[in-house]
Structure 1
Amino acid sequence: MTESEFHRAVDAVLARIENALEPHDDLDIDLEGGVLTLGCPDGTKIIVNRQAPNREIWVAARSGGFHFAARDGAWRDTRSGEELFASLAAIIAAQAGVQADFG
């Protein structure tokens, strides 16, 4: 994946997350400069951002830090192999109490 392909792919992922979460008034959503910040009702944050040098998407949450790389047509956790959207839905449910559907 070239750098421009990576940036287009991550932009699409961040837009998909933002669009799926917009209906949830409980979350404060801010997408700026390739960093998506989700403010949770309890004041904590979930951060989703691109790591261009590694060609990864990183997620930082109260439960830990997660790195996702493009593999087999999906973004997969580099340790567990779990798919990004499934993992993120579980993180958001646990931390914010919001059921996210990324379709």
Structure 2
Amino acid sequence: MARLGLNKLNRLAHLGLRVPRGASIRAFGLSRPNIGIKPTTATTIKPPSIVPTPRFVSTSSSHRKHITPDGETPEPQAAPEVVRTPAVITDAEYHAAADEYMDRLLTHLEELEEQNADMEVEYSAGVMKISFGPDSGTYVINKQPPNKQIWLSSPKSGPKRYDYVILGDGQHEKQDTACGEWLYLRDNTTMAELLREEIGIDLRMPVGDYGE
């Protein structure tokens, strides 16, 4: 096979083509091209385009942190309900508090009884009965030492059991130094409130004011 010229051999070597057998390239100081590599078409590789990351711009004000997603202002939360518990008192302290309350109540009832001819009050052995006529029913109020309670049965609102509870800032103080009250724990109402609403007895009033 005829030997190839120098220019042609250089061209073949540059393109990476197979040199025909018999062609001499060493004579011209050329390196043998890679064998088995097919020519490829030169392409221009473009650098990847840089897409800017979109930035989120908030239009909401920092003063709207408490606004719900639907645009409505949430309702204010109610204050947590205070859980009352009976005061830890001895039997002697219970009897002292219960007797003082019953005696004070009896004093108010007897004064109101003088103003109401249909009213009748009885108190014996720790049991108090209050009636306003034969058709009005009878209130029964009595001590319950085993439970350290005072029980009240009303013809209007039914039976209730009252515990001695320390109210106000002195909840952890003893009963003789803090504000104690007989409380119905199911609805946190006091016995004084029931007596004031159903009978008209206000234990906060001084004795002698019912006749005015």
Partners of 2:188 and 2:182 in 1: how far apart? 9
Aligned ranges for residues 7-22 of structure 1 at < 5 Å?
7-22=95-110
- Residue 102 (str. 1) matches residue 194 (str. 2): no
Equivalent residue number for residue 130 of structure 2: 38
Partners of 2:141 and 2:195 in 1: how far apart? 9
Equivalent residue number for residue 162 of structure 2: 68
Query: Which deviates more, 19-28 or 73-82?
Result: 19-28
| Residue 192 (structure 2) aligned to one of 69, 81, 85 | 85
Q: CA deviation at 1:51?
A: 0.9
* Conserved? CA contact 2:195–2:202, under 8 Å: no
Structure with the bigger percentage of strand: 1
Partners of 2:111 and 2:182 in 1: how far apart? 24
1:31-82 deviation digits (Å, cap 9, x = unpaired): 1001111122235110111111111111001120011101122111121111
Q: Bigger relative contact order, structure 1 or 2, given CA contacts below 8 A and separation 6+?
A: 1
Q: CA deviation at 1:19?
A: 0.6
Equivalent residue number for residue 55 of structure 1: 148
Q: CA deviation at 1:86?
A: 1.1
RMSD: 1.3
Q: TM-score normalized by structure 2?
A: 0.43
Secondary structure of the structure 2 residue equivalent to 1:38? strand
Partners of 1:43 and 1:83 in 2: how far apart? 23
Q: Give the gaps of 5 or more residues in structure 2.
A: 1-88, 167-179, 205-212
Structure with the bigger percentage of helix: 1
Q: Give the gaps of 5 or more residues in structure 1.
A: 93-98
Q: Percent identity?
A: 26
Partners of 1:56 and 1:40 in 2: how far apart? 25
| Residue 29 (structure 1) aligned to one of 112, 121, 143 | 121
Count, aligned residues: 97
